[in-house]
Amino acid sequence: MITFYFLQSSLVPSASDVNSSFNYFPIAVQLLFAVGFVVLMMVVTHLLGPKRGTEEKLENFESGIEISGNARQPLAVKYFLVAILFVLFDVEVIFFYPYAVNFRHLGWEGFAAVLAFVGFFLAGFYYIIKKGALRWED
């Protein structure tokens, strides 16, 4: 009888039960099971897995290429600069998605805001080109 009352009351929450901390209990249980499963699998694989650490297995693997020289040679800053610029402009493009989804609701005011955003976007791109950040000949 108590179990039935519990199930019935959990299906139709009253106004006072909507924001109770008990609503987060299933999330906590799921998180507990997930963390427990990960820990259990790591322990089991550590205990049951093979333990043969030969010199060849412990050597660094470089995609099948024989290791030569020092791995601490400096790379050209151009590679990092292009990577950072890619991330910067890639993240900026993500901001177009909310406008694309809600463009009818936003109307002309939203269109003006997107045009301003594109203007700043292009100004930054123009600045990068003028500074020579994408020139590879140097």
Q: What is the DSSP string of the chain?
A: -HHHHHHHHHHS--TTTTT-GGGGHHHHHHHHHHHHHHHHHHHHHHHHS-----TTTTS---TTPPP-S-TTPPPPHHHHHHHHHHHHHHHHHHTHHHHHHHHHHHHHHHHHHHHHHHHHHHHHHHHHHHHTTT----
Residue 11: predicted pLDDT: 57
pLDDT at 66 over 90: no
Q: Is the pLDDT higher at 76 or at 47?
A: 47
- Rounded to the nearest integer, the mean pLDDT of the chain is 79
Per-residue pLDDT of 84-100, as tens digits, reads 888 877 887 888 888 88
Average pLDDT score over residue span 111-132: 88
Q: Is the pTM of this model over 0.85?
A: no
Does the domain at 74-138 match CATH 3.40.1360.10? Answer given as: no
